Each structure stands twice: as structure tokens, then as C-alpha cells.
């Protein structure tokens, strides 16, 4: 057994050496590819920051190349033109996503984000758009968001008073969770339930970001070599207990409301209420798809997983970029002062008049897309250009690399929000949009499977960022930063691996109060 193991290791080392030394390109039906190793395919070429490895490979093999990860065939695309071919011209051939152990286990086998493009997906998409994430619904939940912005600003004001530091990498996900959690589930029954939910959701989101080798080879699929399935099942159990408690509390409240007893419920109907209406048959007439309790729970899991880290990490990157670019920060503040008068706090309703702030968010999404890839699966054999892509091939559109390619962007590594103002010569940040029509900029994907959370995100991020820089200066706390260039106070901008490519180091700062609108100081006041 030992001898066989040693021989296998020697064989793998030799193969790695050969593949590095004499990489081979395949011509013909498949895009070019490095030489693959038996069993592991091209895994040996990947570092934990996979988008960077794919970028390095694209420099050797061009804007489209193929890989085999374990036994799974993959195509990696790194140009806007090819992204358009796959996501627009051949959209229906690349409309699904590959499932994996985390998705199957965590989403009750009833995921929306990973559902095939069919009746159930279409039904749920309509539901989400009409009742939770469409413009009208997002506006209905404005009070919830305002409350959360003010809660954070008050906390920062307190820290500013005592010159204490605050870990924004901890606080920003709290804002996202409270906003999205309450939009979806209504008010939590208690502060402790809200905290419990936040911790469980955080653990669940982490699971989605872990790499599970077993998903990539039928040989060891059942073996659970990393103990991943076991951990996922344990996290799922915790998550399920929590969601069941939240649903049961809501059901109890609805029973009381139906009986007509007095209940103080001034909330807008939560999304969970609408889902329960469907389950209870109240709005299920003409329902053409099966909609079970597992679908409700799967959807809640999907929406939590897709929203909390994506939004909070985007805020963190944008703030860090501003701290590193005082001249941009100044311009942003000037814009806020021009638009927001009378000592009031900037809010979401100001966002359409703040093109520079919107441009900052876009520029940050260009350099730091929280989802570095748009991932899809080939649902039917398809010819793209000269290449034939087989059914079930995984597609990775490398957003991160496209956003940093000098062919697509002038001085791509510079943080320059102005590039999003230039195209129409005016000061409208809408020149390059986020809605997947310009293929050099796809932070939210494109086409039918584009992110349904864009409207919410593009209201929340600029409003919160504007409020945080309107009210505070930010003193970077040196000891919390590895490799910080202390003289220039430049923050390290390294990434670490994860579902959403977070910053490598927590963003810890001391807020310094510069402007205190009444709404922050007086707990009676709401913005
Ligand atoms: C900065 C914030 C966000 C970013 C960068 C982001 C990015 C993305 C991307 C790249 C996709 C894949 C799109 C495609 O395949 O074409 C996606 C899908 C999705 N996102 Fe977002 N997202 C964000 C926020 C949100 C929020 C706030 C929600 C919900 C509250 C959300 C819910 C979803 C869902 C449900 C899907 C799956 C859609 C489908 O398969 O049809 N996202 N997102």
C-alpha cells in the first residue's frame, strides 16, 4: 500500500513537471488547454485565488481555454467579446448552473439560483421581482433600510466620541443582514433571535465559499475526503432549526391576526408572509408549479447566501479605496455638499443626484467584483466560433480579469471613478451601466440569469457610503494592518479566497466625527 502511494506521488510530481515544461495546446473542437494530469486534471495549476490563476493561464492560452477540473470539463473566458458570445448569442445553451454538495444540502434540493431554467425558476423569478426585489418592493422597504443606516451611524458616532476603533468588516455584514433579513422575514421576534440568525447565516454562507474536491471527481464523489458533506449537513441542521423557528413564529402571529386579536404589526407585509400565503393556498390559484415548505426554505437560504457578503464586501472595498484615495474622497464629499443642504443626512432618495458616488461604487465593483466569475453550465452541445462545447461543461467568465484588462480599460489598475462619467461627456454615472449590457463590466452577470438584487444593491451601497463619508473622517488603525505602508497610510488591498473574495485583512478604523445631522444624535428622529 505504501509503495503504491509513493509511486502515485512520484507519478503526479513527474506529470506536474512535464506539464509545466511542455505544455501542449489542443487544436480542433476544444479551446486550447494545458496538459492535464490523470485524475486531478488541471487542479495543480490553480491557487486558492482561482480568478488569479485563471488570469495567469489566459496570458498563456488566450481569452478562451479549456480545463478539466478532476473529471469536470470547464471553459474559461476572459474577453468581453467572448463573454457576449456565451451570455447573449448562445444564452440559452449556457443558462443553467452546476449544482454541488453545498447547494444540494443547504438549499433543501430546492434552490432558485441553481434551478434549471424551467417553470419553477420562472415562477420564482417573477415572485422575487414582484414582491421583494423589484423597484416598487424595494421602495416599500425603505424604512427598514433607513433604520439600519441610522443604527450604524449612531454606533460610529459613539465610537468617535470615545476615539475607539470599529471593525467595519464585522459591522457592515450586520447592516446587510438586518436589512435583507427583515425585508425577507419581517421583524425578528427579539434581538437575540436576530443575533442567532446572523451567526447561523454567516456559517451557512461560509460553506458556500469552501472548495470541495469531491464535487469534481466521480471517483471520489462519495468519499467526502475533506469531511465537507458532514460539516455541511451539520450547518444545514442548525440553519433549518433557525428557519423553522422563524417560520413558526410568523405562522403564530398570522393566526392571531386572522382571529382579529389586537396585534401591533405596522410592518409592510414581509416576503415570508407572501410565501406563506402561497403555501396556505391563499394566492395559489392557477399555481402551475409545486411550491412546498422546502421551496420556501430553499429560497430564503439562496437569498441570504447571495446577498449578505456580496453587499457588505462591496462596501468594504469601496470604503478602503476611498481611504487610499483622499482626492476622490474630497470630490465625493463636495458632491454631497452640493446636493444635500440644510444639515440633513444624505439618503437613498438623493442617490440619483449623486453620479460621482455611483461612479465610485461602479469603479470599486470593476476592480473588486465580489463574485469574480459568472458561472454557468452548458445545457446542450453548442458551437461557439470554431469550438464545440460539450453538454455539462462548466463555464467561467472571469469578471475580475476582464475588469483589469488594459484592452478594455485605460490604466486599469488605477482607481478612477471618472471613467464611469466620461462616455457621454456629462456627469451621468449611467454611461456604463451595471445591468449586463456592456460586456467589459459584468459585476451582476447578464441576461435572464442576471442578479435580481441590482436595484436594492445600487440604492443601498451609494446611500450608505455617502452617509459614512458625510458624517465621518476615517483614521486607519495601523496595528490592525499587515504590510501597511505607515508613512503614506496606504491600506493593503490583498484578497483572500472565499465565495465573495473578501479583503485579506479586516478594515479597522477610528471614525472621526465631522458632521452630525440631527437624525443621528436624536434617537427620536428618523431619516
Ligand atoms: C454587490 C452586490 C451583488 C453582486 C456583485 C451580485 C452578483 C451576482 C452575480 C454575478 C450573479 C450571477 C448572474 C449571472 O449568472 O448572470 C448573481 C446572481 C444572483 N443574485 Fe446577486 N449580487 C449582489 C447582490 C445580491 C442581492 C442583494 C441579492 C438578493 C437580495 C442577490 C440575489 C441573487 C440571486 C437570487 C441570484 C441568482 C439569479 C438566478 O440564478 O436567476 N444578489 N448575483
Q: Indicate the length of the chain as a whole number.
A: 527
Mutate to test the pocket of ligand 1, among 177, 444, 501 (most ligand atoms within 8 A of CB): 444
Give distance in angstroms: CA of 453 to centre of ligand 1: 6
166 beta partners: 509
CB 330 within 8 A of CB 337: no
The half-sphere exposure of 408 on its side-chain side, counting CA atoms within 13 A, is 23
451 marked ligand binding residue: yes
pLDDT at residue 488, rounded to an integer: 59
- In our burial notation (b when 16+ CB lie closer than 10 A, e otherwise), range 420-430 reads bbeeeeeeebb
* Closest atom of ligand 1 to CA, residue 445: 16
Give distance in angstroms: CA of 208 to centre of ligand 1: 14
The pLDDT of residue 378 is above 90: yes
pLDDT tens-digit readout, 406-429: 999 999 999 999 999 965 555 444
Cα gap 486→477, rounded to integer Å: 10
pLDDT tens-digit readout, 174-208: 999 999 999 999 888 888 888 888 888 888 888 88
pLDDT at residue 482, rounded to an integer: 54
Cα gap 356→418, rounded to integer Å: 8
Higher pLDDT, 511 or 19: 511
pLDDT at residue 1, rounded to an integer: 47
| Stretch 301-318: mean pLDDT | 95
Grid cell digits, residue 244: 423553522
Give distance in angstroms: CA of 111 to centre of ligand 1: 13
Q: What are phi and psi of 476, to 5 degrees?
A: -70, 135
* Closest atom of ligand 1 to CA, residue 183: 30
* Closest atom of ligand 1 to CA, residue 132: 30
pLDDT tens-digit readout, 46-89: 999 999 999 999 999 999 999 999 999 999 999 999 999 999 99
| Stretch 147-153: mean pLDDT | 94
pLDDT at residue 522, rounded to an integer: 61
Mutate to test the pocket of ligand 1, among 298, 453, 457 (most ligand atoms within 8 A of CB): 453
Mutate to test the pocket of ligand 1, among 184, 306, 316, 441 (most ligand atoms within 8 A of CB): 306
C-alpha distances out from residue 4 to 7, 12, 226, Å: 5, 12, 22
Grid cell digits, residue 43: 487542479
| Stretch 275-282: mean pLDDT | 84
Cα gap 224→228, rounded to integer Å: 6
Highest mean pLDDT among 259-273, 473-487, 494-508: 494-508
pLDDT at residue 481, rounded to an integer: 59
The pLDDT of residue 285 is above 80: no
* Closest atom of ligand 1 to CA, residue 376: 15
pLDDT at residue 210, rounded to an integer: 82
DSSP 108-123: TT--STTS-TTHHHHH
CB 355 within 8 A of CB 363: no
Grid cell digits, residue 139: 421602495
pLDDT at residue 517, rounded to an integer: 75
Give distance in angstroms: CA of 225 to centre of ligand 1: 30
The pLDDT of residue 20 is above 60: no
| Stretch 447-461: mean pLDDT | 97
**Minimal-distance CA residue to ligand 1 atom 36:** 451
The pLDDT of residue 19 is above 50: no
* CA neighbor of 437 nearest in space, from 449, 429, 446: 446
* CA neighbor of 340 nearest in space, from 331, 330, 350: 350
| Stretch 200-227: mean pLDDT | 83
CB 458 within 8 A of CB 497: no
pLDDT at residue 21, rounded to an integer: 46
Ordered structural domains, the chain, with CATH: 71-521 (1.10.630.10)
Quickly state the pLDDT bin for 122 (edges 50, 70, 90): very high
38 beta partners: none
Of 163-177, 201-215, 282-296, the least confident: 282-296
* Closest atom of ligand 1 to CA, residue 302: 35
66 beta partners: 75
- Show the ligand 1 pocket: residues with CB < 6 angstroms: 112-113, 133, 180, 302-303, 306-307, 310-311, 314, 370-371, 374, 443-446, 449-453, 456-457
Whole-model pTM: value is 0.90
The pLDDT of residue 272 is above 90: yes
Amino acid at each position: 500500500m505504501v509503495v503504491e502511494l509513493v509511486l502515485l506521488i512520484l507519478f503526479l510530481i513527474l506529470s506536474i513537471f512535464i506539464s509545466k515544461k511542455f505544455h501542449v495546446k489542443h487544436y480542433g473542437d476544444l479551446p486550447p488547454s494545458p496538459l492535464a494530469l490523470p485524475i486531478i486534471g488541471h487542479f495543480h495549476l490553480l491557487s486558492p485565488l482561482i480568478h488569479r490563476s485563471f488570469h495567469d493561464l489566459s496570458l498563456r492560452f488566450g481569452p478562451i481555454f479549456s480545463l478539466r477540473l478532476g473529471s469536470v470539463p470547464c471553459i474559461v473566458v476572459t474577453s468581453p467579446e467572448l463573454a457576449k458570445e456565451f451570455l447573449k448569442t448562445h444564452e440559452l445553451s449556457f443558462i443553467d448552473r452546476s449544482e454541488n454538495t453545498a447547494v444540494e444540502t443547504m438549499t433543501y434540493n430546492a434552490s432558485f439560483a441553481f434551478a434549471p431554467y424551467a417553470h419553477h425558476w420562472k415562477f420564482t423569478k417573477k415572485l422575487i421581482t414582484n414582491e421583494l426585489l423589484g423597484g416598487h418592493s424595494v421602495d416599500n422597504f425603505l424604512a427598514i433600510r433607513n433604520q439600519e443606516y441610522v443604527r450604524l451611524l449612531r454606533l460610529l458616532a459613539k465610537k468617535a466620541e470615545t476615539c475607539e476603533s470599529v471593525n467595519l468588516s464585522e459591522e457592515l455584514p450586520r447592516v446587510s443582514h438586518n436589512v435583507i433579513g427583515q425585508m425577507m422575514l419581517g421583524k425578528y421576534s427579539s434581538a437575540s433571535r436576530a443575533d442567532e440568525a446572523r451567526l447561523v447565516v454567516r456559517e451557512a454562507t461560509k460553506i458556500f465559499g469552501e472548495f470541495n474536491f469531491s464535487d469534481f471527481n466521480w471517483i471520489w464523489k462519495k468519499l467526502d475526503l475533506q469531511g465537507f458533506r458532514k460539516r455541511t449537513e451539520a450547518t444545514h441542521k442548525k440553519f433549518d432549526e433557525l428557519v423553522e423557528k422563524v417560520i413558526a413564529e410568523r405562522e403564530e402571529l398570522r393566526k392571531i391576526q386572522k382571529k382579529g386579536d389586537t396585534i401591533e404589526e405596522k410592518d409592510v407585509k414581509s416576503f415570508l408572509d407572501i410565501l406563506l400565503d402561497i403555501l396556505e393556498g391563499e394566492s395559489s390559484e392557477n399555481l402551475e408549479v409545486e411550491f412546498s415548505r422546502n421551496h420556501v426554505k430553499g429560497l430564503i437560504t439562496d437569498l441570504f447566501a447571495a446577498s449578505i457578503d456580496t453587499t457588505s464586501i462591496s462596501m468594504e472595498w469601496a470604503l478602503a479605496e476611498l481611504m487610499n484615495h483622499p482626492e476622490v474622497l474630497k470630490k465625493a464629499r463636495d458632491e454631497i455638499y452640493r446636493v444635500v443642504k440644510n444639515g440633513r443626512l444624505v439618503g437613498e432618495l438623493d442617490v440619483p443626484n449623486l453620479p460621482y458616488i455611483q461612479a465610485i461604487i461602479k469603479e470599486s465593483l470593476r476592480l473588486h467584483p465580489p463574485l469574480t466569475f459568472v458561472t454557468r453550465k452548458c445545457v446542450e452541445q453548442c458551437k461557439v466560433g470554431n469550438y464545440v462545447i460539450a453538454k455539462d461543461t462548466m463555464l467561467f467568465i472571469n469578471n475580475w480579469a476582464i475588469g483589469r484588462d488594459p484592452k478594455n480599460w485605460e490604466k486599469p489598475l488605477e482607481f478612477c471613478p471618472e471613467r464611469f462619467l466620461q462616455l457621454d461627456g456629462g456627469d451621468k454615472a449611467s454611461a456604463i451601466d451595471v445591468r449586463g449590457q456592456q460586456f467589459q463590466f459584468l459585476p451582476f452577470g447578464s441576461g435572464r440569469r442576471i442578479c435580481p438584487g441590482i436595484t436594492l444593491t445600487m440604492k443601498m451601497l451609494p446611500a450608505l457610503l455617502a452617509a459614512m463619508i458625510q458624517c465621518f473622517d476615517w483614521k486607519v488603525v495601523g496595528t490592525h494592518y499587515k504590510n501597511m505602508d505607515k508613512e503614506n497610510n496606504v491600506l493593503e488591498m490583498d484578497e483572500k479566497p472565499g465565495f465573495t473574495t473578501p479583503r485579506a485583512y479586516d478594515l479597522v478604523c477610528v471614525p472621526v466625527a465631522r458632521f452630525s445631522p440631527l437624525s443621528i444624535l436624536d434617537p427620536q428622529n428618523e431619516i
